Structure 1
Amino acid sequence: MTFRLRLLAAALALSAGLAQAVTLRVANQGDAMSMDPHSLNESLQLTFTNNVYEPLVARDKSLGLAPGLAVKWSQPSPTVWRFELRRNVRFHDGTPFTADDVVFSFNRAAGDGSDMKSYTSGFKEVRKVADHVVEIETTAPFPILPDVITNLFVMSRKWCEENKATVPVDRRKGIENTASFKANGTGPYRLKERQPGQRTVLVRHAGYWDKVEGNVTEVVFTPIGNAATRVAALLSGEVDLMEPVPLQDVDRIQANPAYQVVQGPELRTIFLGMDQKRDELLYSNVKGRNPFKDRRVRQAVYQAIDIESIRSRVMRGAATPTALMVAPGIKGFVPELNKRLPYDPEAARRLLAEAGYPNGFEVAMNCPNDRYVNDGAICQAIAANLARVGLKINLQAETKVTYFPKILRRDTSFYLLGWTPGTYDSHNALTALMASPNDKGQGQFNLGSYSNPKLDELTLKIQGEVDQPRRNAMIREAFELHAADVGHIPLHQQALAWAMKKTVQAVQLADNQMPYKWISVK
């Protein structure tokens, strides 16, 4: 049977079961900003596009590695990984999936405009060995490479070339192309409708290569920024599942017998970053110098923040304060280092005076108000804390649609960000957030350009180290260096909270991914 006949047969079978068609209506506080899977390395963006596109190596329900578009992988040499690709897979437009698409996609992800460079920074070459075999050669041994590529999604080379989408959508420059609004993946769902900021509709792909566990045939995704409106939409029956749940509404929803709230720890760390590169700080009343280059100023900011008050009042207990840039559950986490500097406004004032700012100074702070749990309120609390030690914070809280392009251009002096290591390994946070930025993708999200050559050296060694005790010791040393420098200011790990009708069965993962193929509606 030809592919077209198989696809027709599958479509007929699907249409024959339309009486059992199931629509899932999902609401989130923000929108996926693009359909381009290489345009933004952000969890909501990746979890949404992962329903349409797929990686070579996927994750299972316990976040372990699982075959995706590659059926198996091996390491012929310390710097070469070989992947045998799945056969008889086609993109949504019917184009066969081959090694050419993998080589094209990984080069695209490593190219200009891509937000995924931090995953490819250790790559030397991606090459085709046969139609269904590819090799990735790295600049140094890279034992965790299969973990690293789980968020690198494969696009159709033919489709991208035909639609003039061979380079990623650059969120920093606001440049859009066909891949912003259309999609052509190999995943279980295909894009039916895209109205940015309003709604996006996915439908089950009849020709998907794998069995889908859930019964959802259509997903209607709606961004609802206002928390009260989002809850009202759930309780009125307009949506079936929403996240995040406003913390003040958890008990009310739980008390309704028709609904449930699913909660759990998240692997995301919320932290503050500061510009440590410019000689003169932007958006500040300090001229001719940059206060954040002085470790004493960074420590003053740290010790002026009442993290317990943020945990109990702003986050209503749904947060775990942290001193590290990674969460428990991430490989390399060091429990004994997870001790914050004490909250001490007097010490903060002394440090500012020692650094030459006895009366404090003024600076703008960038913050999203629709990305993390209570993100706007967290920044307001921090601004109030810092005001008590003489730092006047001009808070610029805005939708992530404008926030991310701004901070990714490094057009910021002081900012709040959240990070879940996509590899579930500390090396990811080190190379993406803490290592010195370079043009290969290292330090791509080190937006304040913190730099310590010794930490950079350790990060490279950690990448290739196969002896686990030795590797853990180097991770510990790198974290100690970063903490001593006050390179960033870790705040907390937020808790996950999804609310849904009791007729909805979903799998909640600690990375807050939401694969629709695992969701069923009774």
Structure 2
Amino acid sequence: MPRPIPPLRRHLGRTVLGLSLATGLLAAPPAAPSARAEALRIAIGGSVISFDPHFYNAAPNSSASAHVFERLIQRDAQGAMQPGLALSWKPVSETVWEIKLRPGVTWHDGVPFTADDVVFTLARVPEVPNSPGSFAAFVRGIRKVEAVDPLTLRIETPGPYPMLPSDLASLFIVSRHAGEGAATEDYSSGKAAIGTGPYRFGLYRANDRAEFTRYDGWWGAKDPAWAQPWEAVSYRFIASDGSRTAALLSGDVDVIDQVPSADLPRLRRDPKVRIAETQGQRVMYINFDRSRRAEVPFVTDNDGKPLPRNPFDDVRVRRALSISINREALAERVMEGTASATGQWLPPGSFGYEPSITVPKPDPEGARRRLREAGYPQGFRLTLHSPNDRYPGDARTAQAVAQMWTRIGVQTQVEALPWAGFAPRSAKQDFAARLAGWGSTSGDASSLLVGIIGTYDREKGTGASNAVRYSNPALDTLRDRALGTLDDGQREALLREAVRMATDDTAFVPLFLLINSWATRADLRYEPRRDEGTYAMQVHRAN
């Protein structure tokens, strides 16, 4: 659960009525909560498909779960790691970390939180069945977990592993006494949804909302800077951009995320509305099926007959499709300036960002030449699948890309689906080409190398979100060298090399990085987060 950071450690974007831009400056502390209890109403654009905090590694699921459950290590709005349920973490040898837990923490049913709950959690994470996007990658570096005493853990790794704290910052802790034997459905019903966070589970209704009530026994409530003024939180899922904006303007909700780009100019001028924005860490990308060597669904020749081999196995085809895309046009026209074009998956300044990789210039003629060289002089037919309610501008982006591909001879149609239908089909390799997004909450290049383009291996925990089954053993080896390197400079050099290797192989096609935005009532302010999380805990009164 991302909680407010003590005032001297909080980084906040500049916020004014109608506009907020991330500047990296230290912010003033939040206004002290008044004695008046109040309900907060939030509407998010994404769909929460489960309340099991280990079922699906997707931002909407994690944002909702963060009100009830907490992590050992939290991240602030800029991604810096801060104490959560763990007060400290340190290596005691090259392969062993010691973690000291926060004393006096209780679960919402009054049972004390202990190291045994962490042991249970870390064992549960990779075993959650039917996950469309597992959290298993975040425990892949753990060989053994030992509860030394109720407030001390020792975690053994197979070798030097400096990324362990970052991995732990991605995992919610659940209780053994409520979670042992519980299924995903038991969390969604509330039966097992007993956390340590500032809010208790009230209800979860798919495609509608979640409800929370304040937990006054929360360990952070004793600090005035962290205490929650909201007695209750209504957390609604409103996929329609227009409906989300209308709900804010009508007073039906107090906060919305994923502010529609078409509405931003009007909302900035509205004195009743406050906008908060910051550069995000989510890259929107396209990748191609690599799970089949022969016929691929939704790919045919121009007469509608299946192709005898997978065209995406040829790097020339992948490069042709990549360089046919005008990324600047997508960012400026389709996304209306709410995204920045990119040729890689992190913004400048991030750990592992490779400066030599620039935004590819559109080259339709070069794309046609590569298709001819690959044996497709007349192109082929293709369906691009996309969600239509998960990311800002997702279906519009897919339509624009389809037009660009059609111009080089790859006749492309788009099938845009609600996220609840898109996600499980994508996880089963139902699509030939898919548009999706990945948020690197770790703030470095490694999470995508493990989760999206790492070879799928359930036992190793790699490729958990690699729905297309791309595999490059040389890239896996380079990534693992980086993750086992203790020296920061050497590790970043290896990550940059991995970014170059992935780019050379067109492992996937990055399009643009989203700029995260929220809109609130003018008397509220939201601390904009690089990880795009939407939390009641980050909403403060402006006066």
What TM-score, normalized to structure 2? Answer: 0.88
User: Does the 8 Å CA contact 2:108/2:195 hold for their aligned counterparts?
Assistant: yes
Identity %: 34
1:496 to 508, 513, 516: 516
Partner Cα distance (1:217, 1:477) in 2: 49
SS in 2 for 1:122: coil
Q: Counterpart of 1:86?
A: 102
Partner Cα distance (2:77, 2:363) in 1: 42
How many angstroms does 1:329 deviate by? 4.3
Gaps of 5+ in 1: 1-16, 170-176
1:408 aligns with 2:427: yes
SS in 2 for 1:20: coil
1:316 to 324, 332, 336: 336
Partner Cα distance (1:148, 1:18) in 2: 36
Output the amino acid matched with 1:178.
Answer: D
User: Does the 8 Å CA contact 2:78/2:530 hold for their aligned counterparts?
Assistant: no
Partner Cα distance (1:309, 1:38) in 2: 37
How many angstroms does 1:87 deviate by? 1.9
SS in 2 for 1:151: coil
Partner Cα distance (1:32, 1:265) in 2: 23
Q: 1:101 to 1:223 in 2, by over 3 A?
A: same
Gaps of 5+ in 2: 1-32, 301-305
Partner Cα distance (1:43, 1:260) in 2: 23
Q: Counterpart of 2:111?
A: 95
1:487 aligns with 2:502: no
2:178 to 142, 156, 159: 159
How many angstroms does 1:399 deviate by? 1.2
SS in 1 for 2:71: coil
Output the amino acid matched with 2:177.
Answer: K
1:376 aligns with 2:376: no
User: Does the 8 Å CA contact 2:79/2:442 hold for their aligned counterparts?
Assistant: no
How many angstroms does 1:316 deviate by? 0.9
How many angstroms does 1:152 deviate by? 0.5
How many angstroms does 1:44 deviate by? 1.6
Output the amino acid matched with 2:297.
Answer: L
User: Does the 8 Å CA contact 2:117/2:174 hold for their aligned counterparts?
Assistant: yes
SS in 2 for 1:140: coil
- How many residue pairs align between the two structures? 494
2:374 to 342, 345, 355: 355
Output the amino acid matched with 2:537.
Answer: K
1:237 aligns with 2:251: yes
1:519 aligns with 2:515: no
How many angstroms does 1:421 deviate by? 1.5
1:194 aligns with 2:199: no
1:104 to 108, 115, 120: 120
Output the amino acid matched with 2:254.
Answer: D
Q: Counterpart of 1:10?
A: none
1:390 to 400, 409, 425: 409
Partner Cα distance (2:332, 2:538) in 1: 34
Q: 1:393 to 1:126 in 2, by over 3 A?
A: farther
Q: Counterpart of 1:60?
A: 76
1:144 aligns with 2:163: yes
Q: Counterpart of 1:252?
A: 266
Output the amino acid matched with 1:333.
Answer: Y
Deviations 1:432-469 (A, max 9, x none): 12222212211222222222222111111111112222
Q: Counterpart of 2:9?
A: none
Task: Answer with 367-376 or 424-433: which moved more.
Answer: 424-433
Correspondence 1:464-479 to 2 at 5 A = 464-479=484-499
User: Does the 8 Å CA contact 1:216/1:519 hold for their aligned counterparts?
Assistant: no
Task: Answer with 489-498 or 341-350: which moved more.
Answer: 341-350
User: Does the 8 Å CA contact 1:25/1:220 hold for their aligned counterparts?
Assistant: yes
Q: Alpha carbon RMSD of aligned pairs, Å? A: 1.7
Deviations 1:45-82 (A, max 9, x none): 11221111011111234422111111111211111111
Q: Counterpart of 1:8?
A: none
Partner Cα distance (2:109, 2:227) in 1: 23
User: Does the 8 Å CA contact 1:326/1:429 hold for their aligned counterparts?
Assistant: no
Partner Cα distance (1:66, 1:148) in 2: 13
User: Does the 8 Å CA contact 2:160/2:485 hold for their aligned counterparts?
Assistant: yes
Partner Cα distance (2:77, 2:514) in 1: 21
1:442 aligns with 2:462: yes
